[in-house]
Chains A and B, each alone.
Chain A
Amino acid sequence: MKTLNDAIQAVPLNHYILLCSIIFSIGVIGVLIRRNAIVIFMSIELMLNSVNLLLTAFSVYHGDATGQVFVFFIMALAAAEVAVGLAIIVMIYRNTNSIDINVLNRLKW
Chain B
Amino acid sequence: MSTFYFIAFLSIFFSILVITAKNPVHSILYLILTFATFTIHYVLMNAQFVAIVNFIVYMGAILVLFLYTLMLINLNKESEPQKSNFIKIIGFIAGACFLVAIVAALKAFKTSQLVVLNDPNLGLVKNLGKILFNEYLLPFEVSSILLLSAMVGAVLLATKEPKTT
Q: Which of A26, A60, A66, A86 contacts B115 (CB 8 A)?
A: A60
Q: How far is the CA of A68 from the CA of B136 in the complex (A)?
A: 12
A7 lies within 8 A of B3 (CB): yes
Residues of A close to B146: CB separation below 8 A:
76-77, 80
Secondary structure class of chain A's binding surface, majority of residues: helix
Q: Smallest Cβ distance from A92 to chain B, in angstroms?
A: 10
B92 lies within 8 A of A33 (CB): yes
A69 lies within 8 A of B122 (CB): no
Residues of B close to A65: CB separation below 8 A:
122-123, 127-128, 131
Q: How far is the CA of A22 from the CA of B46 in the complex (A)?
A: 23
Residues of A close to B54: CB separation below 8 A:
49, 52, 75
Q: Smallest Cβ distance from B55 to chain A, in angstroms?
A: 11
Given that A4-B43, A72-B50, A99-B75 are known contacts, is A42 also in contact with B115, CB under 8 Å in the complex?
no
**Which A residue sits closest to B42, measured CB to CB?**
A56
Secondary structure class of chain B's binding surface, majority of residues: helix
Q: Which of B19, B47, B120, B151 contacts A30 (CB 8 A)?
A: B19
B157 lies within 8 A of A10 (CB): no
A23 lies within 8 A of B15 (CB): yes
A7 lies within 8 A of B114 (CB): no
B19 lies within 8 A of A12 (CB): no
Please encode chain B, from 45 to 78, with 1 for each CB lying within 8 Å of some chain A CB and 0 for all others. 1110110011001100110011001101101000
Q: How far is the CA of A89 from the CA of B61 in the complex (A)?
A: 18
A11 at the interface (CB under 8 A from B): yes
Q: How far is the CA of A87 from the CA of B7 in the complex (A)?
A: 34
A21 lies within 8 A of B99 (CB): yes
Residues of B close to A60: CB separation below 8 A:
45-47, 115, 117, 122-123
**Which A residue sits closest to B72, measured CB to CB?**
A90
B95 lies within 8 A of A7 (CB): no
Q: Smallest Cβ distance from A9 to chain B, in angstroms?
A: 6
Q: How far is the CA of A35 from the CA of B87 in the complex (A)?
A: 11
Residues of B close to A4: CB separation below 8 A:
43-44, 46
Residues of B close to A61: CB separation below 8 A:
113, 115-116
A56 lies within 8 A of B157 (CB): no
Between A and B, 22 residue pairs with Cβ closer than 8 Å are: A4-B44, A17-B102, A19-B12, A21-B102, A21-B106, A26-B16, A30-B19, A32-B94, A33-B87, A33-B91, A34-B83, A35-B81, A36-B80, A53-B42, A61-B116, A63-B122, A73-B136, A80-B147, A82-B62, A83-B150, A84-B153, A102-B81
